[in-house]
Amino acid sequence: MVRRKKKSCLLPLLVVILIIAFGWWYWVRAKSHFVHYPEFGIEIPRGYEVHGIDVSRYQDFIDWYQVKDMQIGDIHISFAFIKATEGLKNMDRHFKRNWRKAKDAGIARGAYHFFLPTKSGKAQAENFISRVKLENGDLPPVVDIEQAYGVSADKIRKEVKAFLDAVEFYYGVKPIIYTNVNFYYRYLEDGFEGYPLWVAHYLQRERPRIDRDWIFWQHSEIGRVDGILHKVDFNVFNGDSADFRKLLISMAPE
C-alpha cells in the first residue's frame, strides 16, 4: 500500500486570511471618507467645509431658523438651493416662502428650475426670470436637467443651451447645471464644459464619479435636518468658505 502525503492546509488558510484582511482594510479605507452623523441620519463625506441642502414643495413647510441653528460637530447648513419653477408656467408652491425665509435665517440661497426637454428652453427661461429676483449674496441660478422624456440628445442640448443663454443674459452671471453623472455623460458632455456643475452621485465616497470639474456634489437624498419634517438632499461645496463667498452674486447697485 502506497502512503499518500497529506496535503497541507496551510496555504488555503493563508489565502482566506489575506482575503479577510484585504476586505477589512478596504472597508475601513472606504468608511474613512465618510463620518456617520446620527442626528442628520446619513454619512457625510470628510474633507468638505461648506454643506447645504436643496428643497422643494416635497419638504412642505420649513422652519429655516431651526435649519440654520442645527450644528453637529463642525457640520451645519450654510446654503440651500430652492426649487422655483418647472416647465413653461409652473412655480413651486412653497418657493416664495422658502426664498424669503431662508434669507431671513441667514442661509445663502439659490433658485433652480426643473427643466422639461419637451418644452422650449427660451420659454422656460422666461418662466424662471419672471418669478426669481436675485440679490447680492444669492447663489447663481440653476437649471435642473435629469430626465430626457424621450427627446433626442441634440434636441436636449439645443433647448438647454437656449435656457442657459437667456438666463445668463438676464442676470449677468453664468448659470449652474444640475444633473446626475449618467445623464451628463449621455447628453451634456459636449458643449457645456464651461458651465459650473452641480452633480448628483450617491455611490462613491470621496467624490462623485465624474472626470470634469464640479462645484457642488449632491451625495445623499435621505438626510434629516431640524425644522424639516421630510427627508432632504444633502450637498457639499467643492472649496473652502472663501471660495464659496466668491461664488455668491455681487451685483452693481441699480
Task: Kindly list the averaged pLDDT for each block of 10 residues, start to end, along the chain of length 254.
Answer: 48 58 42 67 92 97 97 96 98 98 98 98 98 98 97 97 98 97 94 96 80 95 96 97 96 55
Residues 6+ apart with CB under 8 A from 63: 226, 227, 228
Q: What is the C-alpha R_g of the chain?
A: 23
pLDDT tens track for 57-105: 999 999 999 999 999 999 999 999 999 999 999 999 999 999 999 999 9
Q: Output the pLDDT for position 55.
A: 98
Domain ranges of the chain: 47-247
189 a catalytic residue: no
Q: Which of 43, 49, 63, 146 is catalytic?
A: 146
86 a catalytic residue: no
Instruction: Confirm if 138 and 151 have CB atoms less than 8 A apart.
Output: no
What sign does the CA torsion over 36, 98, 50, 220 have? positive
Distance CA 243, CA 230 (A): 30
Distance CA 201, CA 199 (A): 6
Domain at 47-247, CATH class: alpha beta
- Does the pTM exceed 0.75? yes
Q: Which of 54, 92, 159, 233 is catalytic?
A: 54
Q: Which three cell numbers stand for residue 130?
A: 419672471
Q: Output the pLDDT for position 13.
A: 63
Q: Could you tell me the CA-to-CA distances from 141 to 28, 103, 125, 226, 228 in Å, in that order?
A: 39, 15, 11, 26, 23
Q: Output the pLDDT for position 15.
A: 54
Q: Output the pLDDT for position 29.
A: 40
